[in-house]
Structure 1
């Protein structure tokens, strides 16, 4: 991504181009009958799950729990899978749209630093900021167009995925080429707030039984005239798979995803003792924004993957993968400091600006051997793996503004004081820290073992991972290079599952996690420190059930998770330095967090006409101890400001359901469907800090709980001899006003008209 050469202008939606593509589908469809297949059987890859095993919203298999294809019913792990069919029925636009339908999962505070960061959520009360894309971390932006399935693992999962928080892991699998002939789909969506989206998914067999190509592309445009903001997102994801022999395959993949936001909507004002939703200030509503007309926030992500799999025989399969991924962000921001000040807490601080370009350039090499055999009536599955990982953060440009504008404070009770002053890029001074990098180098070895005794009634899962890691930091200000090597991390995982009956299993598991913090952090006084690795552990006890010949599947679990040496980011501060005013988010590190709770997830398909998904989670998450987060009063008394406090964005109760009902045919409309669902949370904390007032700790303002409902209706219809699916989705049906986090209101009622066709 290159810096903007000109300031943003409102774009024209490319509806015309999409309509031309729709007209072309008939020609594409005609060649479908020419597709041929090879009679040589392709050996099933143990590292992937075939969607043919999915039954609409239900899937019996997953790869994320063991990195190899495994029956969910045989895993002593709490896992949920959301299929491509479910993503389409809920009209998901991003990853968060899906994961919040799992028990114990809630939206987190990702919008604090990146507008509409859709990879940010909380699992089991613990923040989980880094989901996985095909097993490798994904930052900032994850749309739904190329997602084939989403797999959620509950509890620490560092054994297979390395550096993670202990709440769990979300791994989404992208769409890959298939040898099952030529097929595809094309869709157009138009909706409220100038929303336009088109998605193309096309698979072609180039050489029968040997070579297949798949292309997924999407374009999204959404604007809001009331706040004069515009967002565009594009996705280009081609992939090619060569079956060199029936037992050997090579996949090459590329993805480019971009999100450009012109005048992105800013966060809401904040004070831990105030619930902004109750203040009634004029203009502090869904339209509130302090952004200036020329502000922008642009993100580009690229992924390159080469994946090789060879099955030597029935006992051994080898896999090697090389993946590169980059995240590049450019931001120009003119805004006020949103922390409220003044005797009535109704004022915003002086307005200034910032300009930056930063990103992360990562690479992985991974080699694995899957081994399975039967020894004396015992089924044995082993996985041996090695991974070399390089994660490099780059501060490409860090620039400071000349200072605050005079008379630039906003009075929230008087909108006439809201002056949208702004600096341009030419006004900023590039800091000497521009060009600094921090590189995390990790070599990992891991092994996992699955055993099945007593004709599969008793199953075990065990493994251990060893990570040897260090960091290399380059300081562009003085040209110095520093290295920091930590003690190798060793994390185990053990689990046991017992099938009490053919339909009911009992399981328990223990696992650990670790999360090195390789980048330096800053204290509120501006000095730097190197955080220690965060470590966690978790214990589950649960049941899995499969009733009514597979029509009902459910998982219920009680759990406890702990996390120590937590890095906590504090509210932004502004300091005077030799290079001018500098605003940054300081941090400290200490203490332990604990989460305990209960989760229930169910899939029910009473007939081919009806499907239902339901989840409920109870989460009790709090700061168990934190001796460093404290204030000292004038009389010398120390007050611990975090210890004993509930964790932020961890509602005590979460619940969700979604149902699909086939209604039959109505004249020209065939296969009519109706979908309806909702999800809700009870009130939750917007911070884990106790405010201090009058020399005492006082409860902060909670964010109110909410319930949000969505519905949809769809049907098939023939137009000019070609079959299309028409649909109408309504999100937030009752126009509920709520804050999913403290940064901005959720959208109001939205309407989306869909037109899709398959070929």
Structure 2
């Protein structure tokens, strides 16, 4: 890294007096602003120019304000609609039209269009932004656990870097915010779309927009997916329903309601053992087969057996030796379509309710209150341990894992936005408060031998507890088993409930200012966050951090998450009206709620980031581009202190101060030279993504797993507007990822090969009777490339073909 290594000053050590001062400042500014607006003073210094008068529409950004693939505004970065070119952040927006043209059915697929973002084909909720992985997804500005299908999706916004002010405790790489379509007052219409594709894929969706009067409009949507798959037993069934409404009792007030319900049932993809990789010096080697002939496979893993044999060949028996090098083949020995079970199942339920109130107090002031309730339930019964390591003969062993993960969240957000002029400068000041309460419900198995809690019945390994293994299973040769039957034979079941309660409190102040006739645009502010956590068990357990100090058993656990202040400041300076240079410095914190056996609380994970680059907007927005360089330092990660745990006989203990860093470049361009042709292209080069300090020196300097150095994406479309093929559109694009290591672990020398996939589209606007109908054909993974993707090394989807018809009534 060109910049020197350093640790951000710890904001958590600032005094409580500073926190009180911060709170008092928020109150003072709010009261002063409100008081100023109630006076009769009409001084020009406090009144914005007509072009700067705040409106309720400033708080709503939709694809209807974009032109094709070109989005000029985003709401996620600042909480209010702001021109992307005027915001000192790297912002990517995938519009609804681009989502439709490319046939992107999953949010994960949409994110693959964004430079610097990586996804996982079997985990729709986890994304990687600038090297850092996490659940970093929002829906209409509210945190969500699950990202699934692009139902009612208006656009997807990705904000790169720590979103310190407006999103609080987040991973430093950035955040993802999906923006749904809202009712419009422009007229009544109904959109209908039906799709069919390979692998018995069927999808239907209907959205209707109805204007009751000039004060009330609503939008209702329903949809469903029923599909099989290219592999045995694979299926997915999904139902969607949504309704949103806008009520404007007065010209200066707006009440919005949004409800969404998604139910998904599918075959659990972890039943396909496609991560099973073998060493060429072990797999089917006579010596290895002889050495493993007599082992007890109930007690000896394939890892242990393979390692023991490699040691006899002179390879090191230490943990740092390469257990999987030289590799037999990245795509062998188990076929893509092989399954361990015939009835593995995953269930996902996602419900949300949003309520928002906007009040324009006068032309300077708007008050906003947002309430959100969300429910997410991800449950599943799947094979466990069977998809990663085969024995020398190619067989695997596995057991079961049954889990239920229920999340309820409640959000209350309030914000005051004040737009005013101060001399020759223009300001948009925002003062806000956020409260979030989350309850995680995770039923589990209470081990009768040592009273320990296990969150997934079926895979407890405590001696004396029944534990059913399937052994000598040859993928592709043995008959897939009933995982339900294996679980029932395990003797384990749900017999204890664990509930965890998290609370987050946040307060922020931010100012967007314009100087020197709008040539210098500044975004600056700070946020204070605090966290609490408490866990309850309905029965005493031995593996709570409070167990040791309560006679060996406790029915609760406590996380003493500490808070802190995170500042953010940046600017855009217009070298030309069409070209600006930008830079941003920001800090962020993430709650670290663990406490050690002595009751010492973990410090929060702290990050600091620097972005700078260029933003261009030429030819009235027909050519826009952002070039960004970034560097991120993430510090104070906690790793287990195994030595202290062994020495004291107590756990857990941690070593703090571990750190990570990422660095790179991103380039994104959107070009529409005329009304017929449009192109978007992106490039991300991650020059550094590694551990910089660790209690395990072997990890220092090693690249994060599944983090390619270069990724590229391109999509272009040409539309014929005259002649015999008028109404025909053709689209084509590709995605490329460099090869990279699968894991950061030095013991796993597995390489993910580079891949390039191609996608194509053809659509035609035709007349069926008196109705305009759009027929569209999409082909994804045109060349049927077989490749692995994501941190788990799963196979990505094979070639798929979809045909759709859509119309508006």
The alignment's TM-score, normalised by the length of structure 1, stands at: 0.83
What is the match of residue 671 of structure 1?
727
Q: Indicate yes or no: 2:341 matched with 1:278.
A: no
- Going from structure 1 to structure 2, the CA distance change for 1:540 and 1:483 (only over 3 Å counts) comes to same
SS for the counterpart of 1:97 is helix
CA separation in 2, counterparts of 1:430 and 1:454?
70
Q: Cα offset for 1:335?
A: 4.7
What is the match of residue 521 of structure 2?
459
Q: Deviations over 1:608-652 (max 9, x none)?
A: 0001001111102333334333xxxxxxxxxx3311110122210
SS for the counterpart of 1:224 is coil
What is the match of residue 215 of structure 2?
210
CA separation in 2, counterparts of 1:714 and 1:63?
31
Q: Cα offset for 1:567?
A: 6.3
Alpha-carbon contact 2:272-2:387 (below 8 Å) kept: no
Q: Indicate yes or no: 2:116 matched with 1:104.
A: yes
Structure 1 residues 527-606: aligned runs within 5 Å: 532-566=603-637, 591-606=658-673
Q: Comparing both structures, which one devotes a greater share of its residues to strand? A: 1
CA separation in 1, counterparts of 2:119 and 2:595?
27
Q: Indicate yes or no: 2:740 matched with 1:684.
A: yes
Structure 1 residues 122-521: aligned runs within 5 Å: 122-206=128-212, 208-224=213-229, 226-262=231-267, 264=269, 265-270=271-276, 273=324, 278=329, 281-282=332-333, 284-290=334-340, 292-340=341-389, 342=391, 344=392, 346-348=394-396, 350-397=397-444, 398=455, 400-401=457-458, 403-405=466-468, 408-411=471-474, 415-417=476-478, 420=481, 422-424=483-485, 426-427=488-489, 434-478=496-540, 480-518=555-593
CA separation in 2, counterparts of 1:399 and 1:727?
44
Aligned length: 669
Alpha-carbon contact 2:55-2:363 (below 8 Å) kept: no
What is the match of residue 75 of structure 2?
63
Q: 1:89 aligns with which of 98, 101, 108?
A: 101
CA separation in 2, counterparts of 1:70 and 1:589?
39
- Going from structure 1 to structure 2, the CA distance change for 1:188 and 1:665 (only over 3 Å counts) comes to farther
- Going from structure 1 to structure 2, the CA distance change for 1:224 and 1:99 (only over 3 Å counts) comes to closer
CA separation in 2, counterparts of 1:294 and 1:76?
50
CA separation in 2, counterparts of 1:336 and 1:440?
31
What is the match of residue 712 of structure 2?
655
CA separation in 1, counterparts of 2:510 and 2:268?
49
Alpha-carbon contact 1:228-1:263 (below 8 Å) kept: no
Q: Deviations over 1:214-272 (max 9, x none)?
A: 01222112212641121112211111111111110111111111110135443523467
Alpha-carbon contact 2:157-2:176 (below 8 Å) kept: yes
What is the match of residue 8 of structure 1?
none
Q: Deviations over 1:681-705 (max 9, x none)?
A: 10122211111xxxxxxx7211011
- Going from structure 1 to structure 2, the CA distance change for 1:296 and 1:314 (only over 3 Å counts) comes to same
CA separation in 1, counterparts of 2:214 and 2:588?
42
What is the match of residue 727 of structure 1?
776
SS for the counterpart of 2:58 is coil
Q: Cα offset for 1:720?
A: 2.9
- Going from structure 1 to structure 2, the CA distance change for 1:274 and 1:354 (only over 3 Å counts) comes to same
Q: Which deviates more from structure 2 when the two are superposed, residues 332-341 or residues 152-161?
A: 332-341
Alpha-carbon contact 2:613-2:629 (below 8 Å) kept: yes
- Going from structure 1 to structure 2, the CA distance change for 1:276 and 1:269 (only over 3 Å counts) comes to farther
What is the match of residue 20 of structure 1?
none
- Going from structure 1 to structure 2, the CA distance change for 1:152 and 1:280 (only over 3 Å counts) comes to closer
- Going from structure 1 to structure 2, the CA distance change for 1:296 and 1:304 (only over 3 Å counts) comes to same
Q: Deviations over 1:387-407 (max 9, x none)?
A: 111012111355523745466
CA separation in 2, counterparts of 1:432 and 1:218?
34
SS for the counterpart of 1:313 is coil
Q: Indicate yes or no: 2:758 matched with 1:709.
A: yes
- Going from structure 1 to structure 2, the CA distance change for 1:175 and 1:419 (only over 3 Å counts) comes to closer
CA separation in 2, counterparts of 1:48 and 1:99?
22
CA separation in 1, counterparts of 2:104 and 2:327?
29
CA separation in 2, counterparts of 1:211 and 1:309?
15
- Going from structure 1 to structure 2, the CA distance change for 1:388 and 1:126 (only over 3 Å counts) comes to same
Q: Cα offset for 1:452?
A: 0.7
SS for the counterpart of 1:87 is helix
- What 5-or-longer segments of structure 1 have no aligned partner? 1-40, 570-585, 630-639, 692-698
What is the match of residue 700 of structure 1?
749
What is the match of residue 308 of structure 2?
none
Q: Cα offset for 1:600?
A: 0.5
Alpha-carbon contact 2:711-2:736 (below 8 Å) kept: yes
CA separation in 2, counterparts of 1:262 and 1:100?
24
Q: 1:749 aligns with which of 783, 788, 799?
A: 799
Q: Which structure has the greater CA radius of gyration?
A: 2
Q: 2:687 aligns with which of 609, 617, 620?
A: 620
CA separation in 1, counterparts of 2:365 and 2:158?
27
CA separation in 2, counterparts of 1:426 and 1:432?
12
CA separation in 1, counterparts of 2:561 and 2:201?
48
CA separation in 2, counterparts of 1:53 and 1:338?
47
Q: Indicate yes or no: 2:83 matched with 1:75.
A: no
Q: Deviations over 1:460-496 (max 9, x none)?
A: 1111000121111112222733433333221110002
Alpha-carbon contact 1:661-1:675 (below 8 Å) kept: yes
SS for the counterpart of 1:477 is strand
CA separation in 2, counterparts of 1:439 and 1:62?
33
Q: Cα offset for 1:158?
A: 2.7
Q: Cα offset for 1:564?
A: 2.1
- What 5-or-longer segments of structure 2 have no aligned partner? 1-52, 278-322, 445-454, 459-464, 541-553, 641-652
Alpha-carbon contact 2:563-2:591 (below 8 Å) kept: no
Alpha-carbon contact 2:560-2:595 (below 8 Å) kept: no
CA separation in 2, counterparts of 1:545 and 1:151?
19
SS for the counterpart of 2:471 is coil
Q: Cα offset for 1:549?
A: 2.8
Alpha-carbon contact 1:334-1:421 (below 8 Å) kept: no
Q: Comparing both structures, which one devotes a greater share of its residues to helix? A: 2
Alpha-carbon contact 1:267-1:743 (below 8 Å) kept: no
SS for the counterpart of 1:45 is helix
CA separation in 1, counterparts of 2:383 and 2:608?
42
SS for the counterpart of 1:727 is strand
Alpha-carbon contact 1:286-1:747 (below 8 Å) kept: no
What is the match of residue 35 of structure 1?
none
CA separation in 2, counterparts of 1:355 and 1:406?
14
Q: Cα offset for 1:590?
A: 6.1
